Amino acid sequence: MTKHKYTTEEEQWICENYGTGTYADLAVRFSYTFSCHVDGTSIKDKCRRLKLTGTHSPFTSEQDTWLKENCLKYTNYEEVAEAFNMRFYTDKNSRGIQSHCVRYLKLKSGRQAFKKGNQTWNKMPVGYEMVHSNGYAYVKVCDTGIRSQDYIAKHRLLWEKYHGCKIPDGHIVVFLNADYSNFSEKNLYCIPRKICRMMNANSWFTESREHTLTAIKWCELYYALNNNDLQ
C-alpha cells in the first residue's frame, strides 16, 4: 500500500484535532474528511513528525463514560469490545478494554445477569439459551465455570456451524436485517470491523437485508480498489 503523503491542509487538520480522540478515531475522521484512507499508525507517525506531544489517552472521556455505564451489562469483555467498537467506530481488543476497565476505571469484572432467586449462569445445563439485556442470544456450550468460555453468542456459534470454520480475527458477525432473532444462514454475514465502522458512520445498517448487503459489498469494493487488506 502506497504511503500517504500529507498536504499542508491535512497537517493543519491534524494539529487542530490532535488530542480529541485516539489515533484510530482520528484516522477514521481524517479519511472521511479528505476522502482517502489512512490508519491509526500513519496518523500516530505523522503526529510525532509534527512534534505533537502531550498526553494522548487511548480512551476519550466519552468512551470512559460509556464503559462505566455499559461494561457490566455484557456477558464478557469480547462482547463489551464488540459493542464498544460498533458505538465508537474503533478497533479495540477485549484485553485492552478489560485492562482499562479494571486498572483505570476500577470496574469489577463480575457480572451477575440473573435476578435473585433464579438459577445463576454457572448452574444451567449445556445447551441452555438466554437472551442478554444487549439483545443478543447466548448458548451455553461447556461447563468450565468460566462464563467467557461457557457461553458464546448464538449468532457467532451458528455462523461458524454454517460455514465450517472459525470467525477470523478482527471480524464480527452482523444481522443483515437488524433482527437479532433471525439466525438464518442468509441473514448472518461476517465482516471486518473496519467495514462495520464505515457502515455505522454512514448509517447503512437497515432493516432491509438487500440494502444492507449492497452497502457492505460497496465497502468491500472500496477497500479492494484501495489495495487495503480487509483483515
Indicate if the pLDDT at residue 184 is higher than 90: yes
Q: How confident is the model at residue 188 (pLDDT cuts 50, 70, 90)?
A: very high
Give the residue with greater pLDDT, 227 vs 119: 227
Proportion of the chain above pLDDT 70, given as a percent? 85
Between CA 111 and CA 191 the distance in angstroms is 28
Reported as type and span, the H/E element at residue 13 is helix 8-17
- Output the pLDDT for position 111: 44
Mean pLDDT of 34-52: 84
- Output the pLDDT for position 108: 65
Longest dimension (CA), the chain: 64
Indicate if the pLDDT at residue 7 is higher than 60: yes
Q: Which of the residue ranges 55-59, 187-191, 211-215 would you say has the lowest mean pLDDT?
A: 55-59
Mean pLDDT of 131-144: 81
- Give the contacts of 124 (CB within 8 A, at least 6 positions apart): 130, 140
Give the residue with greater pLDDT, 178 vs 87: 178
Between CA 159 and CA 142 the distance in angstroms is 18
What digits encode the pLDDT tens for the residues 92-123? 778 778 878 887 788 765 443 334 444 555 67
Q: Kindly state the DSSP code that residue 119 receives in the 8-state scheme.
A: P
Q: Which of the residue ranges 144-148, 160-164, 203-207, 210-214 would you say has the lowest mean pLDDT?
A: 144-148
Indicate if the pLDDT at residue 91 is higher than 50: yes
Show the cell assigned to 212: 444492507
Between CA 140 and CA 153 the distance in angstroms is 9
Q: Domain spans of the chain? A: 8-49, 61-104, 114-166, 167-231
The rounded mean pLDDT for the chain is 81
- Asked whether 31 and 71 are in contact (CB, 8 A), the reply is no
Of 75, 83, 193, residue with least CA distance to 141: 75
